């Protein structure tokens, strides 16, 4: 969902100067990669502290499982339209493209990472678990490659700016897509 919001912003901004458009995308990518580098540094520091660190041990705690069930059920019901929640206006200001300052674009990339990473938890968890069981090189490599993965849509738009014109406008397909994602989250809650 976060990447789709970003794409809508890029569609709205594409009529501006080409170099500003590319710089905004570049600084978003740089923000994403910086955040994953910070994740790698944090994982490295935790691992070197001497504790055995792994991923998945939290699923042995019934409180954590209850929290995850509640969270996935919450997101599922939201996607089915039972209620709506709104992003605070200060966050929307950070995500907007009203200024040409690239610091905002860098911070948007970081913010995008923090919002999107929990949505990819099943995939990210496996990769982080593998990274933490490996060497320091593996920690940094895996997390930076994950950053490239999250940045891939933006990288493609940076290299091929005409891709943005191929993206369909929001419509009925997006409503169907939201229901499918809601069903998958509901099934995840039942599985948990």
Measure CA of the first residue to CA of the last residue in the chain; give whole Å. Answer: 23
Q: What is the pLDDT of residue 93?
A: 61
Mean pLDDT calculated for residue range 157-171: 76
Distance (Å, rounded) from C-alpha 164 to C-alpha 181? Answer: 23
pLDDT exceeds cutoff 80 at 183: yes
Q: What is the pLDDT of residue 115?
A: 66
28 burial type by CB count under 10 A (0-12 exposed, 13-18 middle, 19+ buried)? buried
- Each residue of 84-124: pLDDT tens digit? 766 666 665 655 545 556 787 888 788 777 766 656 655 66
Mean pLDDT lowest among 2-6, 17-21, 29-33, 46-50: 2-6
Mean pLDDT calculated for residue range 117-144: 74
Nearest to 117 by CA among 26, 47, 35: 35
Q: What is the pLDDT of residue 87?
A: 60
Q: What is the pLDDT of residue 56?
A: 55
pLDDT exceeds cutoff 90 at 134: no
Selected residue with higher pLDDT from 50 and 45: 45
Q: What is the pLDDT of residue 53?
A: 54
The whole-chain average pLDDT of the chain stands at: 75
Q: What is the pLDDT of residue 14?
A: 58
Residue carrying the six token digits 């970081």? 110
135 burial type by CB count under 10 A (0-12 exposed, 13-18 middle, 19+ buried)? exposed
Residues 24, 107 contacting (CB under 8 angstroms): no
pLDDT exceeds cutoff 80 at 150: yes
Structural tokens at position 160: 């091929």
Q: What Å distances lie between residue 94 and 12, 90, 91, 109, 139, CA to CA?
A: 16, 6, 5, 10, 30
Selected residue with higher pLDDT from 108 and 170: 108
Q: Find all residues with CB under 8 Å of 161, minimum gap 6, and list them.
A: 14, 18, 21, 22
Q: What is the pLDDT of residue 52?
A: 56
Distance (Å, rounded) from C-alpha 54 to C-alpha 125? Answer: 10
């Amino acid at each position: 969902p976060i990447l789709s919001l970003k794409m809508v912003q890029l569609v709205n901004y594409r009529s501006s100067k080409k170099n500003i458009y590319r710089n905004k995308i570049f600084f978003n990518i740089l923000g994403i990669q910086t955040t994953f580098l910070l994740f790698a540094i944090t994982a490295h520091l935790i691992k070197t502290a001497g504790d055995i660190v792994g991923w998945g041990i939290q699923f042995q705690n019934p409180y954590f499982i209850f929290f995850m069930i509640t969270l996935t059920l919450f997101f599922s019901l939201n996607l089915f339209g039972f209620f709506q929640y709104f992003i605070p206006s200060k966050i929307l200001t950070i995500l907007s493209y009203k200024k040409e300052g690239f610091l905002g674009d860098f911070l948007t990339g970081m913010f995008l990472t923090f919002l999107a990473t929990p949505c990819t938890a099943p995939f990210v968890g496996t990769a982080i678990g593998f990274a933490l069981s490996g060497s320091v090189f593996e920690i940094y490599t895996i997390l930076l490659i994950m950053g490239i993965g999250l940045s891939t849509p933006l990288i493609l738009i940076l290299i091929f700016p005409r891709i943005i014109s191929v993206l369909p406008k929001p419509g009925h397909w997006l409503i169907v897509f939201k229901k499918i994602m809601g069903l998958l989250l509901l099934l995840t809650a039942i599985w948990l």
